[in-house]
Chains A and B, each alone.
Chain A
Amino acid sequence: MSTGAADATAAPRRLTVAGSLKRNRRWALVLSYVFLIIFAIFFLIPPYYMLVTSVKSNAEVAHMAHNPWIIADGVTFEHFWTLLTQTDFPIYLRNTVIVTLCVVVITMVVSVLAAYALARMKFWGSGVLATGIFLTYLIPESLLFIPLFQIVREVGLLNSYWAMVLVYPTLTVPFCTWIMIGYFASIPKELDEAALIDGAGHLQMLFRIFIPVAMPGIIAATIFAFTVSWADFIYPMAFLYSADQQMLTAGTVTTLIRGDVYQWGMLMSGALLAAAPPLVIYALLMDYYIAGLTAGATKG
């Protein structure tokens, strides 16, 4: 498909008339838009359908003759209301907020300190350590959840959301350290030499110079830590089983489904509400989000 658009731009090579060149450019652009719209539809179908379902009445969802893609019988927010008043959803939300806040704070403290040391204070083994951190980032959680299950059980945190505070940093810390090493390393050496001459200590230098200058990196790493700990699924699935300890992701998927009839309207409103915080952060801080994403040639 890219070649289709490309051919259109290639044609003018033979035609030297300026007008046709312009026309071909316009055709390439039109083709680009056509294909982009097709891809955008593919990418946006599930969120759109979730949104449509979440504001339909149960009767309309069950009624199969209607066009499922549109809202025919009017918009209702009853599912959101039921979800927030008659289910365990608010408990999941509270647990997730607590865990995410703890994980973000732990991650940022640990990774900023370590990244500063690794980027600026060369010491024995620092190179090996930096590479090693990058490698541990490649160990997937589906390899670690079974031994971690055993470890969590041994320390008595099985079925407690504090277990998430313990294990989520394994997902966030290596990558955030990696991002921060990069940002710190890009700060000119002259800056810390000047600070050293002025008699600044290392911690002063970190807080007065490095953190303010690397603020975009800090924001990107914080967003990463937030989205990862908000979205993780396998650890709560494996380690948590009672409703009062569950996280949003696993809670929405497992416990809201119980019953003979699937409450699709409520399920979709739950999924949308649970997905809202990362979406809002993305909408507000898109550039930082993308900077963090591209910073490390990340996961996909």
Chain B
Amino acid sequence: MDDTLRSPALGTVTATVRPTRRRRSRLSRLFRRRSTVALLMCLPLILIVLGLIIYPAFYSMYLATLNKAQTKFIGLGNFTFLFSRDLFWMVVEQTAIFAISAVFFKALIGLITAHLVHNLPSKGQRKWRGMLLVPWVIPLSLSTLGWWWLFDPTHSAFNWVLHGLGFGEVPWLSEPNWARFSVILVNVWYGAPFFLIMYLAALKSVPEQLYEAAAIDGANAWQKFVHITLPMMRSIIAITVLFSLIVTFANFDIVQILTAGGPRNTTHVFATYAFQLGIRSGDIPLGAAASLVMFPILGIAAIFILRGVRKRGREIG
């Protein structure tokens, strides 16, 4: 598994940016033909990326400058309208809380479970890994439906347990702070197995000799973790966390299904807020503006990821 982790992911950027080698003129005709063929082979990909990703992204910026009926150019009117609303700033705050705390706990649980699985004798690892990845495999919208049922106000199976233990009932989705907790909990549940898999792969790629050398020098387990494991895994941790931040930041399924933004809009994140404005209320330009607010944040994360991927590509060679 560590082979697949190394080669495809990270070797490629460096491999493909290497400048084209100059060829002898004898071969130049072949080369020209070769590059034409190559371009043709890439054409479907280029069309999809340009037509359905790049163009919509710019089209969204254009849409965001129109009025609701899309008949008049109003410049930054949609943005100034959004920025003047308390609800918008609440969404910003909630998205930040949601993304940062969910990613933190996903990474933490991923790291812990990866170590636990790594500690097991190797023949049992496969079974545990297989079992622990199940939340990641179930389509998120469907497992969220299961969570919704677990949180159901009258039939909540969690409340049944709490009741049995002598605690009061918890309003999982109807009280703002509990609802915020619940959507984060579901996201952590869904995403932690992904971190587990990534970290487990990274752990397996740390050379055993380093630990042996440290053991000879008398390092304890914590010192080994801090001075060997963490530095060796640093770039993979950084890449995984940044990726996860982007995806969690843009998450739609969980909040839409569990609360649809409620109670009183306290759990809205950018995606559900934009959906509410653009699709449900039919104000496409305003929805486009709301979702575009994500763009600069995602852009910054993307730059860091790209740097990380390139660096890791160089480290591995």
- A252 at the A/B interface (Cβ < 8 Å)? yes
- B41 at the A/B interface (Cβ < 8 Å)? yes
> Contact: B119 with A5, CB < 8 Å?
yes
- Encoded as 1 (CB less than 8 Å from any A CB) or 0, chain B from 238 to 274 comes to 0110011011111111001100000000000011001
| A-chain residues with CB within 8 Å of residue B39 when the two chains form the complex | 117, 123
Chain B interface, DSSP helix/strand/loop, else mixed: helix
Chain B positions 134-169 with a Cβ under 8 Å from a chain A Cβ: 134-143, 145-147, 149-150, 152, 154-155, 157, 160-161
> Contact: B16 with A143, CB < 8 Å?
no
> Contact: A5 with B116, CB < 8 Å?
yes
| A-chain residues with CB within 8 Å of residue B9 when the two chains form the complex | 182, 294-297
Distance from B145 Cβ to chain A, minimum over Cβ atoms (Å):
5
Distance from B266 Cβ to chain A, minimum over Cβ atoms (Å):
19
Q: How many residues of B sit at the interface, in one of the four size bands?
A: 35 or more
- A159 at the A/B interface (Cβ < 8 Å)? no
Q: Which of B57, B194, B221 has the most CB of A within 10 A?
A: B221
Q: Which of A2, A237, A297 has the most CB of B within 10 A?
A: A297
Chain A positions 1-43 with a Cβ under 8 Å from a chain B Cβ: 1-3, 5-7, 9-10, 13, 28-29, 32-33, 35-36, 39-40, 42-43
* A182-B275 Cα distance, complex, nearest whole Å: 36
* A299-B241 Cα distance, complex, nearest whole Å: 9
* A167-B133 Cα distance, complex, nearest whole Å: 28
> Contact: B116 with A131, CB < 8 Å?
no
- B201 at the A/B interface (Cβ < 8 Å)? yes
- A61 at the A/B interface (Cβ < 8 Å)? yes
* A132-B246 Cα distance, complex, nearest whole Å: 17
> Contact: B298 with A291, CB < 8 Å?
no
| A-chain residues with CB within 8 Å of residue B294 when the two chains form the complex | 140, 142-143
- A218 at the A/B interface (Cβ < 8 Å)? no
| A-chain residues with CB within 8 Å of residue B154 when the two chains form the complex | 64
> Contact: A146 with B291, CB < 8 Å?
yes
* A150-B57 Cα distance, complex, nearest whole Å: 12
> Contact: B13 with A47, CB < 8 Å?
no
- B106 at the A/B interface (Cβ < 8 Å)? yes
- B195 at the A/B interface (Cβ < 8 Å)? yes
Shortest Cβ distance from B31 into A: residue:
A123
> Contact: B146 with A110, CB < 8 Å?
no
| A-chain residues with CB within 8 Å of residue B243 when the two chains form the complex | 138, 297-300
> Contact: A10 with B221, CB < 8 Å?
yes
Distance from B305 Cβ to chain A, minimum over Cβ atoms (Å):
7
| A-chain residues with CB within 8 Å of residue B109 when the two chains form the complex | 39
* A29-B15 Cα distance, complex, nearest whole Å: 42
- Our pick among B192, B221, B256 for the contact of A9 (Cβ within 8 Å) is B221
Among the stretches A74-82, A83-91, A263-271, the one at the interface with B is A263-271
Q: Which of B139, B193, B197 has the most CB of A within 10 A?
A: B139
Chain A positions 210-249 with a Cβ under 8 Å from a chain B Cβ: 216-217, 220, 227, 230-231, 233-234, 237-238, 249
- Encoded as 1 (CB less than 8 Å from any B CB) or 0, chain A from 149 to 182 comes to 1110000000000000011011001100111011
- A-side interface residues, number (CB < 8 Å): 123
> Contact: A13 with B220, CB < 8 Å?
yes
- Our pick among A2, A142, A202 for the contact of B271 (Cβ within 8 Å) is A142
- A275 at the A/B interface (Cβ < 8 Å)? yes
Q: List 27 A-B contacts (CB under 8 A).
A: A2-B115, A6-B221, A6-B222, A7-B222, A13-B220, A29-B121, A32-B120, A36-B128, A69-B160, A117-B39, A129-B42, A130-B13, A138-B298, A140-B246, A143-B250, A146-B60, A147-B59, A151-B52, A181-B8, A182-B12, A185-B12, A216-B4, A268-B145, A286-B133, A290-B133, A295-B5, A297-B239
Chain A to chain B: the 6 pairs with minimum beta-carbon distance, closest first: A182-B8, A231-B139, A140-B250, A6-B221, A142-B271, A123-B35
Q: Which residues of B contact A (CB under 8 A)?
A: 1, 4-5, 7-13, 15-18, 20-21, 34-35, 37-39, 41-42, 44-46, 48-49, 52-54, 56-57, 59-60, 63, 106, 109, 111-113, 115-117, 119-121, 126, 128-143, 145-147, 149-150, 152, 154-155, 157, 160-161, 189, 191-195, 197-198, 201, 218, 220-222, 225, 236, 239-240, 243-244, 246-253, 256-257, 270-271, 274-275, 278-279, 284, 287-288, 291-292, 294-295, 298, 301-302, 305-306, 309
Q: Which residues of A contact B (CB under 8 A)?
A: 1-3, 5-7, 9-10, 13, 28-29, 32-33, 35-36, 39-40, 42-47, 49-50, 53, 61-62, 64, 67-69, 109-111, 113-114, 116-119, 121-124, 126-127, 129-136, 138-151, 166-167, 169-170, 173-174, 177-179, 181-183, 185-186, 202, 216-217, 220, 227, 230-231, 233-234, 237-238, 249-250, 252-253, 262, 264, 267-268, 271-272, 274-275, 278-279, 282-283, 286-287, 289-291, 293-300
